[in-house]
Chains A and B, each alone.
Chain A
């Protein structure tokens, strides 16, 4: 028997280059961006609430979804082997990738083997995560994003800022401007009506769809017992890519498995209502390997680890692998609504990103993300698979490296708080110290808080106010009654 193989962290676009507060600063100061995000998240919150409220068994569906995913995680190795056997028997070829670079190498090699120098792409978080477009470009292969929002982001030479709507940070006028600048065939009098912009995208991509030889997709679900892959979409760009080319390469994270085809009855109800706030998304495609005479005849599946084994190894953080990428947690998050997606650095923004990215990379590499939250719990309430995001955030904060000054301060505080006598004395001392200052500030501004402390307290007040101690404690007041 060989040595056990340790789970490994991942690579790709899942690391914050800057600490979250630094990265969020320009976004928070940008009124246009905040207006765009506010309008979009408010719209989607209302749509979701309406279609979720009309489902009488919503909580039962969430319970089932959560349990199915927990079962998948527990049986992941055997289910992967079962999926591999099913989809291989159906005529597809399965490839395995330890990390982002290996996944990219496989897709490049398959594209070259098909004799193509361009691919059409269905929107996919996994390919964004592994930075596939950059790898294809470096290999001389042009990658064309076909989802409208991905197209906007690609033409704008930007990066996605939302899981479902990567261009959520743009309004219609900004999108028209990008189209006019980057689409050679766009009408000169293009209006900024969404219908006109959608029409421009249709015209722009039509010929490419009809002539494409290789498509690259992700998958929302991979069914172990049948070998079926599922892609959920709206525009029909997914259907085009999944149907017309001769070669189809799907990049799928290992956590995307479902045990049985019947399990789709839960997830195909949870996902659209949580995601776009519709009863059902316009198009869902399912394919099982190769169907002679119908769709791609050269079908590949690339199963990607890239840090997922490291997430699986933490029993508390493991449920992050249940995520079905609906983005409901982004849309309700007060931090996301103000900071936007780019501040999270990773392709996975918002509350789910704050727990997933640090686990994929190891917490030390994304140490600021578990703090990008107020722990209000709204994300947990809307999560269709009931991931307890606040609990995992707190768990990851405990793992994050803390600066020596903070550790020392917390050590002193814990010594003080262990004894009621020491605690009462400390409060008296704090009140005596803050008294004149508080009275001054009260007189000047009427506030019972301090905006700025000198170093090292400045680390606290940079992003928060410091409440001043009250004139008496509850115990003192109680003693007098």
Chain B
């Protein structure tokens, strides 16, 4: 090695190999935790968790027109199903071509679907798949209205991971933006959308 510059990469990897000179034995990872939920009513659990985070839950696609009637300017992903906007009289801003952050900041709400929802933790996951759009779309507007189909609801977190594309950008959302940084009390409403409204649709919703 003398007289030859060693890259940081090679040096760090060499240090780590030296550090493991004691050859620690192989590790068997015990996976005795639950990977499937046996609770009968996942939707009720999801609603309970969402409301605990102070998200607002609506039932049935019929709730949508009434909800949207409060919204003047609405952002939507390019592939939003047309029937979600049935009867909507406000301005629709489709994210095609991409809306700038400044334009998004000026809109009243965004309407999307999701990839999967976890009942146990009240979590809605977006992975940039159909009806979800890109990440900025659901971040900048102050109100996020999200449609969750009953068949997208799973019980536990391990079940959700199997439905996701790991390489797609993901946003996991559990209630509206919040902080616990002041005396460790949770308050809602910081930089992300301050209002999260969930519309549950499909059988059982």
CB < 8 Å neighbour of B27 from A67, A77, A199, A262: A67
Tell me, in angstroms, the Cα distance from A152 to B179 when the chains sit together. Answer: 13
CB < 8 Å neighbour of B169 from A98, A206, A287: A287
Question: Which residues of chain B have C-beta atoms less than 8 A from A210's C-beta?
Answer: 101-102, 105, 140
Question: Which residues of chain B have C-beta atoms less than 8 A from A315's C-beta?
Answer: 22, 24
Is B5 among interface residues, defined by CB-CB distance under 8 A? no
CB < 8 Å neighbour of B189 from A202, A239, A288: A202
Question: Which residues of chain B have C-beta atoms less than 8 A from A5's C-beta?
Answer: 6, 11, 14-15, 18
In the complex, what's the smallest C-beta–C-beta distance from A268 to chain B, in angstroms? 6
The listed residue with most A CB atoms (<10 A of its CB), out of B26, B178, B181, is: B181
Given A5-B14, A269-B157, A305-B12, residue A236 in contact with residue B191 (CB < 8 A): yes
With both beta carbons as reference points, the residue of chain B lying nearest to A269 in the complex is identified as B157
Is B134 among interface residues, defined by CB-CB distance under 8 A? yes
Given A194-B182, A295-B135, residue A64 in contact with residue B166 (CB < 8 A): no
Tell me, in angstroms, the Cα distance from A167 to B182 when the chains sit together. Answer: 8
Given A234-B177, A240-B191, A291-B169, residue A80 in contact with residue B13 (CB < 8 A): yes
With both beta carbons as reference points, the residue of chain A lying nearest to B127 in the complex is identified as A286
CB < 8 Å neighbour of B181 from A147, A266, A283, A305: A147
Is A4 among interface residues, defined by CB-CB distance under 8 A? yes
Inter-subunit contact A278/B174 (CB<8 Å): yes
Is A115 among interface residues, defined by CB-CB distance under 8 A? no
Is B88 among interface residues, defined by CB-CB distance under 8 A? no
Tell me, in angstroms, the Cα distance from A36 to B181 when the chains sit together. Answer: 13
Inter-subunit contact B135/A195 (CB<8 Å): no
In the complex, what's the smallest C-beta–C-beta distance from A185 to chain B, in angstroms? 16
Binds B, one of A39-47, A432-440, A470-478: A39-47
Residues in B1-43 with C-beta less than 8 Å from chain A: 1, 6-9, 11-22, 24-35
Binds B, one of A14-22, A168-176, A402-410: A168-176
Inter-subunit contact B182/A172 (CB<8 Å): yes
Question: Which residues of chain B have C-beta atoms less than 8 A from A268's C-beta?
Answer: 157, 172
Tell me, in angstroms, the Cα distance from A235 to B174 when the chains sit together. Answer: 11
- Number of chain A residues whose Cβ lies closer than 8 Å to a Cβ of chain B: 104
CB < 8 Å neighbour of A71 from B27, B135, B174: B27
Inter-subunit contact B12/A43 (CB<8 Å): no
Is A177 among interface residues, defined by CB-CB distance under 8 A? no
Given A64-B29, A235-B178, A235-B191, residue A261 in contact with residue B12 (CB < 8 A): no
Inter-subunit contact B102/A283 (CB<8 Å): no
The listed residue with most A CB atoms (<10 A of its CB), out of B1, B20, B189, is: B20
Inter-subunit contact A235/B157 (CB<8 Å): no
Question: Which residues of chain B have C-beta atoms less than 8 A from A279's C-beta?
Answer: 49, 52, 120-122, 174
Inter-subunit contact A148/B181 (CB<8 Å): yes
CB < 8 Å neighbour of A165 from B52, B123, B184: B184
In the complex, what's the smallest C-beta–C-beta distance from B12 to chain A, in angstroms? 5
Given A2-B1, A43-B183, A96-B7, residue A282 in contact with residue B178 (CB < 8 A): yes
Tell me, in angstroms, the Cα distance from A291 to B168 when the chains sit together. Answer: 7
Question: Which residues of chain A have C-beta atoms less than 8 A from B173's C-beta?
Answer: 282-283
Residues in B89-119 with C-beta less than 8 Å from chain A: 98, 101-102, 105, 118
In the complex, what's the smallest C-beta–C-beta distance from B195 to chain A, in angstroms? 12
The listed residue with most A CB atoms (<10 A of its CB), out of B9, B128, B177, B179, is: B179
Inter-subunit contact B166/A56 (CB<8 Å): no
In the complex, what's the smallest C-beta–C-beta distance from A209 to chain B, in angstroms? 7
Tell me, in angstroms, the Cα distance from A293 to B16 when the chains sit together. Answer: 37
Tell me, in angstroms, the Cα distance from A203 to B17 when the chains sit together. Answer: 49
Is A139 among interface residues, defined by CB-CB distance under 8 A? no
Inter-subunit contact B1/A3 (CB<8 Å): yes
Is B44 among interface residues, defined by CB-CB distance under 8 A? no
In the complex, what's the smallest C-beta–C-beta distance from B179 to chain A, in angstroms? 5
Residues in B153-201 with C-beta less than 8 Å from chain A: 157-158, 161, 166-193
In the complex, what's the smallest C-beta–C-beta distance from B97 to chain A, in angstroms? 10
Is A109 among interface residues, defined by CB-CB distance under 8 A? no
Tell me, in angstroms, the Cα distance from A309 to B35 when the chains sit together. Answer: 34
Question: Which residues of chain B have C-beta atoms less than 8 A from A278's C-beta?
Answer: 174, 186
Tell me, in angstroms, the Cα distance from A278 to B122 when the chains sit together. Answer: 11
CB < 8 Å neighbour of B8 from A98, A239, A262: A98
Residues in B25-82 with C-beta less than 8 Å from chain A: 25-35, 49, 52-53
Inter-subunit contact B187/A98 (CB<8 Å): no
Is B150 among interface residues, defined by CB-CB distance under 8 A? no
Inter-subunit contact B181/A152 (CB<8 Å): yes
Question: Which residues of chain B have C-beta atoms less than 8 A from A63's C-beta?
Answer: 30, 32
With both beta carbons as reference points, the residue of chain A lying nearest to B172 in the complex is identified as A284
* Sample (26) of A-B pairs whose CB atoms are under 8 Å apart: A4-B17, A6-B18, A43-B185, A67-B30, A77-B13, A81-B13, A96-B8, A148-B190, A168-B184, A194-B187, A195-B188, A198-B190, A228-B166, A234-B178, A234-B179, A234-B190, A243-B136, A254-B16, A276-B180, A283-B174, A284-B171, A286-B166, A286-B170, A315-B22, A315-B24, A318-B24
Other A-B pairs beyond A8-B15, A236-B177, 15, CB < 8 Å: A2-B1, A5-B11, A5-B18, A61-B33, A67-B28, A198-B179, A210-B102, A228-B166, A235-B191, A282-B53, A282-B192, A283-B172, A295-B135, A295-B169, A313-B19
Chain A residues packing against B (C-beta within 8 Å): 2-8, 36, 39-40, 43-44, 47, 56-57, 60-61, 63-64, 67-68, 70-71, 73-74, 76-77, 80-81, 84, 90, 95-98, 102, 146-149, 152, 165, 167-168, 171-172, 175, 194-195, 197-199, 201-202, 205-206, 209-210, 223, 226-228, 234-237, 239-240, 242-244, 254, 261-262, 264-266, 268-269, 272, 276, 278-288, 291, 293-295, 303, 305, 309-310, 312-313, 315, 318
